[in-house]
Structure 1
Amino acid sequence: MPFLPPEISDYILDYLHDDTRSLAACSLTCRDWVPTARYHLFASVTLHSARLCAAFANLVQRSPLIAPYVRELNVSKLSKHAESDSLLVERTLRTILTRLEQTHTLSVSLLNAQSIAIMQSSLTRNPSVTELHLQFCEFATFGDVIDLLSAFPELESLALRGVSWGDASLGHHAPRATSFPKLRKLRLGRDVDTSTLLDFVLCGSHHRSITELAACCTSEDGAAAVGALIENIGPSLRHLELEWCPSRLDVDAIFLPRALSPRPRSALESVSLRCVIPQDCSIPWVNAFLFDLESARIKQIAVEIRLLGDLDALNWEEFQKMLSEARFGGLEKVLVKVNLWSGVPLDKQEVKDILRKKLLNLEARGILHLA
């Protein structure tokens, strides 16, 4: 059989990264292909049933060399398992989590308080996880949230969406709060008690390492909490993604809360503003934010719009005029992304054509990007 250099075979196998059937066949064909095939086959593992938990636990027990290949673990929907499977899930999760010593990303979604408790009982301090995603999870107490986060001392990136807790107190979990990780990236989506979480972060001075922040604000209280965090992070903040979408949209205009106004002399390098344009409503808050923005390092500004109403709800003339000022002379990219909702009498190309005509100066500078 002709000899194929390992660099070439690895290159070919890399093209099959999402073709599990072919990768499995390759691993059975040639012993030299096994490491690369496993690298792609087990890079991301999803467990969404007691049966899958048991099967994967059995696999890593019988073939311990597989565990180091798992870089991302997704645990989802275990709340739907039968009561009789609870012990099985608890036992198998403990087996799995104690063996995945190279996993850097953990995603947990659609778990109720009981399933969260089962998972937490299986966790010890895990130094390998640096990125954690929690979506639509229910905790019994806020202290349980802190307890979970403290299990990952090297955690750098945290994303929360739809995370709730019954009791906002720390309770007996307070001592663990001292081991809270030093986050670099924090993403706060919808349906999170931002005030409680950020109050804890600020009171414990856990914000000092944050350089990237993404936050969705739907209330004045949430905006105040996010604003306080931005102010306390200060010039360490390099990248900001902000969505202001108040729960009440039956108004004529959506204004910028004072708490979210940019701080003077910031060191921001990129800003992304996300907004909804409802029917018969203007959104002056976007331009108001840019009016107050001062950063000598700003390189990129992005605006992402969910369009239900009139595209002219944002004053594009004012938008372009501000971004043409000397303070934005270092801009390298202005991205405008418009997501069309059903009922809007425009298509994607028509929207792009309209925006190009309204933003001719930015287009001429070669920095305008439309999506």
Structure 2
Amino acid sequence: MPPYMPPEITDTIISAVPLDRYPGFRPSRTHTLAMCALVCRAWLPRSRVELFKNIPIREEHTYDLLVERVLHSETMSPYLASVDRLVLHRDRSDPPSKAGRLFFVEFAGKLAGLRTLDVEHIDFTHQRPSVTWPLLLSQFRTITSLTLYNCHFSSFSDVRRLFTALPLLSSLSIDELTWPMVSHEMHLRTTLRPRTFWPELHELHIWNLPPQCAAMLLRWITGALHGSPVKELRCDILDLPSTGSVQEAVDAFVGRVGPSVTDLDIHMTDNVPLSGFIALERFSCHFYESQGSWQGVASVLQGVSSSTIQSITFNSLTQRCHFNEPTYLHFDDDTLEELDHVLSGEPFGRLREFILYVFAAREEDEELLRTHARRCLPELHKQKILSLHIRWI
């Protein structure tokens, strides 16, 4: 046996230090890797490479240190090429983020390996980068996954420039994005010339946009998705207020992505257009504070045209006794039986699982809920595809 571990073994061990799933529960990944770097000279290179793979910038001090001690350091700056994922974040109560204003300027061309960028609670209206943004963003073309959460822009034009500057996107997530509605942008040209902006875009998530912003985004992105093979769609935009122009935007969007989407995750309403999703294999929907009836849900499911659907999941179902809002849709309603007939027929012949997640407050209710499911959904229970999961609150 050698008196020391071969470097390929220690490198493998260091690379396997897991990400922080529960911050504060144990020493962070950053702390562990920093300690590894101090063990001996042989451990230093791999420890630093792994240390820089994932950089969370959650406060101004962290950003200042990254610029001062890494970006401006001849010995440390080469490690920026190791950055795979970077998070720009600020608390809602903090002043506008310096990182949000300066990051795209100061780090342009420095992050050759950056694949994932998560931007949270950043106000880009203080930056006004409209003219120079395409040039700056072209230095970040390696990004394949972009998440924008609760970000504010000066105009939709800035949003559009950001998206189209990243041609390698395979995952795009948009949540609580806002920009002021300007009259001339309301009439943006939506018929784009045939061009595939994102040839590898497989995942698209759109949540919690104001209706006017959502409609504008849909009108533009429908054309921009030309040639994009979107497989996974998670959104709450299919149930926008059904006014004329908004409904047209939703219909056009579904017409664009429907033929390719295999995984669909939505907020359930009585008017969700499912017939356009002809390749659907997995369907998941959320019912928290949903209004309507099980007859309405059954009617929506009857609109499914895909004969390849294998899995259906209903999330956030509630009990009437604990969420006693008369207009809400509750799991423990006898009209749940409406689903049994629909899901036992066509086009659900390939259905392999029907999963229900129900909120409950008392453990003694568990058997009552399971009995209710078996009584209302006897055919699905008989086929052994019914699965009930209870989440205690």
TM-score range, shorter chain: 0.7 to 0.9
Corresponding residue for 1:271? 283
The alignment covers a number of residue pairs equal to 351
2:297 aligned with 1:256: no
Corresponding residue for 2:253? 229
Q: Return the match for 2:315 from 296, 304, 312.
A: 304
| Structure 1 unmatched ranges of 5 or more | 246-254
2:230 aligned with 1:210: yes
Corresponding residue for 1:4? 5
Q: 1:366 to 1:34 in 2, by over 3 A?
A: farther
Pick which of 180-189 and 7-16 moved more. Answer: 7-16
Q: Per-residue deviation at 1:325? A: 2.1
Higher helix share: 1
- Give the residue type in structure 2 aligned to 1:187: H
- The answer to whether the 8 A contact 1:262-1:289 is kept is no
- Give the residue type in structure 1 aligned to 2:297: V
- Give the residue type in structure 1 aligned to 2:301: L
Corresponding residue for 1:76? 89
Measured in 2, the distance between the counterparts of 1:278 and 1:106 equals 33
Corresponding residue for 2:177? 163
Q: Return the match for 1:28 from 35, 38, 57.
A: 38
2:192 aligned with 1:191: no
Measured in 1, the distance between the counterparts of 2:110 and 2:162 equals 18
Corresponding residue for 1:251? none
Corresponding residue for 1:330? 350
Measured in 1, the distance between the counterparts of 2:156 and 2:364 equals 45
Measured in 2, the distance between the counterparts of 1:326 and 1:89 equals 51
Q: Per-residue deviation at 1:32? A: 3.6
**Identity among equivalent pairs (%):** 24
Q: Per-residue deviation at 1:139? A: 1.2
- The answer to whether the 8 A contact 2:218-2:253 is kept is yes
- The answer to whether the 8 A contact 1:277-1:313 is kept is no
1:1-371 aligned at under 5 Å gives the runs 2-6=3-7, 8-10=9-11, 12-13=13-14, 14-18=16-20, 19-58=29-68, 59-62=70-73, 63-77=76-90, 90-91=101-102, 93-115=104-126, 117=128, 121=133, 123-125=136-138, 126-168=140-182, 169-170=184-185, 180-182=197-199, 183-192=201-210, 193-204=213-224, 206=226, 208-216=228-236, 217-221=239-243, 225-244=249-268, 255-256=270-271, 260-263=273-276, 266-277=278-289, 282-307=293-318, 308-309=323-324, 310-313=330-333, 315-339=335-359, 349=366, 353-354=370-371, 356-358=373-375, 359-371=377-389
- The answer to whether the 8 A contact 1:212-1:238 is kept is yes
Q: 1:366 to 1:65 in 2, by over 3 A?
A: farther
Measured in 1, the distance between the counterparts of 2:129 and 2:354 equals 46
| Structure 2 unmatched ranges of 5 or more | 21-28, 325-329
Q: 1:210 to 1:77 in 2, by over 3 A?
A: same
- The answer to whether the 8 A contact 2:356-2:387 is kept is yes
- The answer to whether the 8 A contact 1:277-1:283 is kept is no
- The answer to whether the 8 A contact 1:48-1:77 is kept is yes
Per-residue displacement from partner, 1:211-269 (whole Å, max 9, x unpaired)?
A: 32222135325665333311233422222222146xxxxxxxxx325xx24238x1111
- Give the residue type in structure 1 aligned to 2:154: A
- The answer to whether the 8 A contact 1:306-1:339 is kept is yes
Q: Per-residue deviation at 1:144? A: 1.0
Secondary structure in 2 aligned to 1:29?
A: coil
- The answer to whether the 8 A contact 2:202-2:232 is kept is yes
Measured in 1, the distance between the counterparts of 2:374 and 2:352 equals 20
Measured in 2, the distance between the counterparts of 1:198 and 1:207 equals 16
Q: Per-residue deviation at 1:363? A: 4.3
Normalising by structure 2, we get a TM-score of 0.75
- Give the residue type in structure 2 aligned to 1:131: S
- The answer to whether the 8 A contact 1:54-1:89 is kept is no
Measured in 2, the distance between the counterparts of 1:103 and 1:314 equals 52
Cα root mean square deviation, aligned = 3.6
Q: 1:33 to 1:267 in 2, by over 3 A?
A: same
Secondary structure in 1 aligned to 2:300?
A: helix
Corresponding residue for 1:250? none
- The answer to whether the 8 A contact 1:42-1:66 is kept is yes
Q: 1:232 to 1:91 in 2, by over 3 A?
A: closer
Per-residue displacement from partner, 1:288-319 (whole Å, max 9, x unpaired)?
A: 22112122321221111342343234843222
Secondary structure in 2 aligned to 1:194?
A: helix
Per-residue displacement from partner, 1:309-367 (whole Å, max 9, x unpaired)?
A: 43234843222332222532222332222345xxx667784576346524454345443
Q: 1:45 to 1:345 in 2, by over 3 A?
A: same
Pick which of 127-136 and 47-56 moved more. Answer: 47-56
Normalising by structure 1, we get a TM-score of 0.79
- Give the residue type in structure 1 aligned to 2:249: A
Measured in 2, the distance between the counterparts of 1:283 and 1:199 equals 32
Per-residue displacement from partner, 1:116-160 (whole Å, max 9, x unpaired)?
A: 536975933122111111111111111111011122121222111
